[in-house]
Amino acid sequence: MAAVWRASADPAPPPVAGEVVVRIAYVSVDPGMRGWITPKRSYMPPVQPGEVMRAFGIGEVIESAADGLAAGDWVTGFTGVQSVATLPAAMLRKIDVSQIAPQLYLSGLGMTGYTAYFGMTDIGQPAAGQTAVVSAAAGAVGSVAAQVARLSGARVIGIAGGAEKCAYLLDALGLDAAIDYRAGDIAAQLAAAAPGGIDVYFDNVGGEILDAVLGQINRHGRVVLCGGISQYGDMDSVTGPANYLQLIAQSATMRGFTMRDYLHRIPEAFMALAGWHAAGEIVFREHVLEGLDRFPEAFAMLFSGANQGKLLIKV
Ligand SMILES: NC(=O)c1ccc[n+]([C@@H]2O[C@H](COP(=O)([O-])OP(=O)(O)OC[C@H]3O[C@@H](n4cnc5c(N)ncnc54)[C@H](OP(=O)(O)O)[C@@H]3O)[C@@H](O)[C@H]2O)c1
């Protein structure tokens, strides 16, 4: 990876008006970073070689030259993969860590959770009596999306790699069925788990799994395109869904989104997710590695499936 991370020995420049210095506590490691270092048209400009790698983070303000933020306040936003940073306060959101563990603001109560919430409720719109399928369901976004669908009353099938993750889907997340996509014919496993077809598909992976689901999408079904991690390894040869004609046959829709569409509605997602979490109706799982020097190793884990939940680095 050409972009770099900055060691704690590097001094952060003193803040000018409107800026704060933040001691970063946790950095989020996201599959989307693959796109952020790819020089292709996307929803954000690519990170350039030599720049600090873009990342969501949380931390404590240690010096402030900005109205509304003081030393001791906690903030979240694009902090970058670094330990101390001087950042514009306008790029940061103040968070309350008195009742909530800080790392949750990068996990289920942060962008990860909000992405799952809006993708599932606004686009997927599952309802009681319907069947929803979520891929990468044991992962950060997928595990929240699957639980949001379960809370809507839908029957939920999670797809994940390996027996251990499938057991997690059933035992910890309370899903109705789990499919191990590494254990053979995905279409056959889907047909067995969803004999009445699929009404909502929350797609995190693309590729073969997307095709298998499209082959079983119901009339007026909704496919939520959140991510396509199976395609991120070679961004020059992304393979689209061969089964897309099913969308015509079933009057179904397939819609992509990013959190950019929903920034104005963050308080709604936070209230819903925090309420479910406090009531014990939804669980979040973080996988924490210590030390910024583990960033390359952490990033690779997302693609091998070695992460178990929201992948974070404790700085
Ligand atoms: N649209 C948005 O605004 C937005 C925001 C955040 C994330 N996303 C997308 O959401 C997806 C999940 O992100 P996350 O942060 O929650 O990561 P995550 O699910 O916690 O980790 C990635 C998981 O993807 C699975 N995976 C990796 N390669 C795969 C492959 N070839 N085929 C099938 N599954 C594969 C692995 O799980 P298994 O062990 O189960 O294989 C891995 O643990 C990504 O596609 C990401 O780009 C989109």
228 Cβ neighbours under 8 A, 6+ residues apart: 203, 204, 205, 206, 207, 210, 238
Residue range 9-24: mean pLDDT, rounded: 88
Nearest CA to ligand 1 atom 46: 227
Kindly give the residue spans of alpha helices, DSSP state H, lying in 64-220. 111-118, 140-151, 163-171, 186-193, 207-214
Residue-wise pLDDT tens digits, 238-293: 999 999 999 999 999 999 999 999 999 999 999 999 999 999 999 999 999 999 99
DSSP one-letter string for 198-257: EEEEEESS-HHHHHHHHTTEEEEEEEEE---GGGTT-TTSPPPPTTTHHHHHTT-EEEE-
3-state SS assignment for residue 180: strand
For the Cβ of 230 lying below 6 angstroms from any atom of ligand 1, the answer is yes
> Residue 2 pLDDT > 70, yes or no?
no
Tokens 């030390």 belong to residue? 291
Closest atom of ligand 1 relative to the 136 alpha carbon: 40
For the Cβ of 204 lying below 6 angstroms from any atom of ligand 1, the answer is yes
| Burial class of residue 234, CB neighbours in 10 A (0-12, 13-18, 19+) | exposed
What is residue 239's predicted lDDT score, i.e. its pLDDT? 92
Task: Identify whether the C-beta of residue 290 lies closer than 8 Å to the C-beta of residue 313.
Answer: yes
For the Cβ of 147 lying below 6 angstroms from any atom of ligand 1, the answer is no
Q: What is the pTM of this model?
A: 0.95
> Any idea of the CA torsion for 168, 170, 171, 172, to the nearest 10 degrees?
60
Lowest pLDDT segment from 4-13, 120-129, 154-163, 183-192: 4-13
What is residue 38's predicted lDDT score, i.e. its pLDDT? 84
Closest atom of ligand 1 relative to the 181 alpha carbon: 33
For the Cβ of 303 lying below 6 angstroms from any atom of ligand 1, the answer is yes
Nearest CA to ligand 1 atom 22: 302
Task: Identify whether the C-beta of residue 114 lies closer than 8 Å to the C-beta of residue 138.
Answer: no
Q: How far apart are CA 135 and CA 202, in angstroms?
A: 7
| Domain boundaries along the sequence of the chain | 19-107+285-314, 111-260
37 Cβ neighbours under 8 A, 6+ residues apart: 1, 2, 3, 46, 47, 53
- Identify the band that residue 10 occupies on the pLDDT scale cut at 50, 70 and 90: low
Q: Which of 224, 181, 185 is nearest to 201 (CA)?
A: 224
> Residue 127 pLDDT > 80, yes or no?
yes
For the Cβ of 305 lying below 6 angstroms from any atom of ligand 1, the answer is yes
Residue range 19-43: mean pLDDT, rounded: 93
Residue-wise pLDDT tens digits, 185-227: 999 999 999 999 999 999 999 999 999 999 999 999 999 999 9
Residue 229 CA to ligand 1 centre (angstroms) = 5
- Identify the band that residue 42 occupies on the pLDDT scale cut at 50, 70 and 90: confident
Q: Which percentage of the chain shows pLDDT scores above 70?
A: 97
Residue 161 CA to ligand 1 centre (angstroms) = 11
Q: How far apart are CA 193 and CA 133, in angstroms?
A: 10
281 Cβ neighbours under 8 A, 6+ residues apart: 147, 151
Residue-wise pLDDT tens digits, 75-121: 999 999 999 999 999 999 999 999 999 999 999 999 999 999 999 99
Task: Identify whether the C-beta of residue 238 lies closer than 8 Å to the C-beta of residue 231.
Answer: yes
Residue 98 CA to ligand 1 centre (angstroms) = 30
For the Cβ of 32 lying below 6 angstroms from any atom of ligand 1, the answer is yes
Residue range 47-61: mean pLDDT, rounded: 95
Task: Identify whether the C-beta of residue 254 lies closer than 8 Å to the C-beta of residue 168.
Answer: no
Residue 199 Cα to chain centre, angstroms: 22
**Amino acid at the residue 231:** Q
The Cα-based distances of 312 to 14, 28, 148 in angstroms read: 27, 5, 22
Q: What values do phi and psi take at 60, rounded to 5?
A: -110, 135
What is residue 8's predicted lDDT score, i.e. its pLDDT? 46
Nearest CA to ligand 1 atom 36: 305
Q: How far apart are CA 108 and CA 284, in angstroms?
A: 6
What is residue 7's predicted lDDT score, i.e. its pLDDT? 47
Residue 159 CA to ligand 1 centre (angstroms) = 11
Give the CA diameter of the chain. Answer: 61
For the Cβ of 107 lying below 6 angstroms from any atom of ligand 1, the answer is no
* Class of 19-107+285-314 in CATH: alpha beta
What is residue 40's predicted lDDT score, i.e. its pLDDT? 83
Assign domain 111-260 to its CATH architecture. 3-Layer(aba) Sandwich (3.40)
